[in-house]
Structure 1
Amino acid sequence: MKGFAITFLAVAAYGALHSLLLTAPVRRAAAGVLGEAAYRGVFRLAYNVLATALLIVLLRGIAALPDRGLVRIGGMAAAGLWSLRLAGLAVIAVCVRRVGLGRFLGWEHFRAWRRGEAVPGPGMEAGELVVEGPYRYVRHPMYAAGAVVVWAQPVWTWNGLAFALAATLYLWLGSLHEERRMLEAFGNAYRRYRHRTPAFVPRFSRSGEG
């Protein structure tokens, strides 16, 4: 069970760092060091590059840990789980497309800053408040879809279970942190959106309208 504990703690540490870098004090410090214009232009892109690099290190480290099989699901049930995972990935792809890949990555922020143009978002936010597509039904479709991708797998090991548990905890806490950032960025517009749109489980009868 050593691998289970290390995996859980490593994923939790990654999630904690991931969120820490987005806290208001860290972002204010970055703006103070870089200057407001440079902060708005480079912070999102730099954050995503760093998060991706750290995730690769994390996954490679977990893969090297001792592990034991837990359960293997086969047949039609496995096919159903893979279908759910693909559906989750498709939702994530639609969300990124709605935001815009360049804005989601932060590349548009960086390019606009380099050109001396207006940056499409206040530092970390991608730009305007997106309330269409999957965001019409839930406020955090990427987090919800991410949880589906994490859990809908047919082959489980102890380390895989630890990863899923820690990742789910991070996704929930990350959604709470995102709520605060969105309120800072969009104020009453986000409050109205939050009032009429559930966080994770859609209410199709209302369809996010209000």
Structure 2
Amino acid sequence: MELVSSTIILVLCLIAFAAIHSLTASLPFKGMILRVMGPGSEKYYMLAYSLISVLTVLPLIYLLYKYPGPILYIIPSPWRWCMVGGQLIGALIGARGLLDAPHRFKIRAQLSAPKTPEAGSLNIQGIFRFIRDPFLLSGLIIIWLTPFMTVNLLVIYIFSTLYVYLGSLHVERRLVSRFGDEYREYQERVHRTIPHFKGQY
């Protein structure tokens, strides 16, 4: 009974995080921030968004620490360190994605009408020549290369995987709306989550 209760609490906590995360990433919310705070707030938005994400995920991390549930497995050395190394590579993939596509996160460009000069150009470069969504790949690597697993951690990882995958679909629909046939051609040539060097853009 305690395991079921802790799992339910963790799932509710994850849902709350996902709701806040989705709200602050939505275009209507970003538009409201620009109207209320002024155009100058755009350069601080990503920092504020990241801080909010960290603060809202901390309760979930604490609850997982306090109520991990039964252990399913613990990977022994040296394979444990191979998995940790893979997680570091995953983190680097996400960081590289941020460096190679800062223009994708400009709020005013996201809020502009599709196919207008204000919307900007697709500008495929860096890691995006080999993979469309390095952030999805980064998240999946970091999650599933954890060198230990408990019941509650597994439940949260399954729900998190579903959330980040659906989030990736939403972002792709937004990019198709913004860039039209140019992005559709990009989708045909480059995979979303598996790097494909022969299909580089």
Shared fold per TM-score greater than 0.5: yes
Partner of 2:20: 17
Secondary structure class of the residue paired with 1:205: helix
Does the CA contact (< 8 Å) of 2:30 and 2:107 recur in 1?
no
- Give unpaired runs (5+ residues) of structure 2: 111-119
Deviation per residue, 1:76-131 (Å, 9 max, x gap)? 4323322322221222232233346xx89x8xxxxxxxxxxxxxx23486x86452
Aligned equivalent of 2:194, options 179, 198, 201: 201
- Amino acid of the residue matched to residue 10 of structure 2? T
Secondary structure class of the residue paired with 1:70: strand
Distance 1:144 1:4 in 2: 26
Partner of 1:31: 34
Task: State which drifts further: 160-169 or 43-52.
Answer: 43-52
Deviation of 1:18 (Å): 0.8
Does the CA contact (< 8 Å) of 1:8 and 1:165 recur in 2?
no
Does the CA contact (< 8 Å) of 2:68 and 2:153 recur in 1?
no
Partner of 1:50: 52
The reply on whether 1:135 has 2:120 as its aligned counterpart is no
State the Cα RMSD in Å: 2.9
- Amino acid of the residue matched to residue 33 of structure 1? V
- Give unpaired runs (5+ residues) of structure 1: 107-120
Partner of 2:107: 122
Matched ranges for 1:44-193 at <5 A: 44-65=46-67, 67-99=69-101, 121-123=106-108, 129=122, 131-193=124-186
- Amino acid of the residue matched to residue 37 of structure 2? L
Does the CA contact (< 8 Å) of 1:43 and 1:123 recur in 2?
no
Does the CA contact (< 8 Å) of 2:14 and 2:156 recur in 1?
yes
Aligned equivalent of 1:7, options 10, 14, 36: 10
- Higher helix fraction (1 or 2): 2
Higher relative contact order (CA 8 A, sep 6+): 1
Partner of 1:118: none
- Give the structure-2-normalised TM-score: 0.76
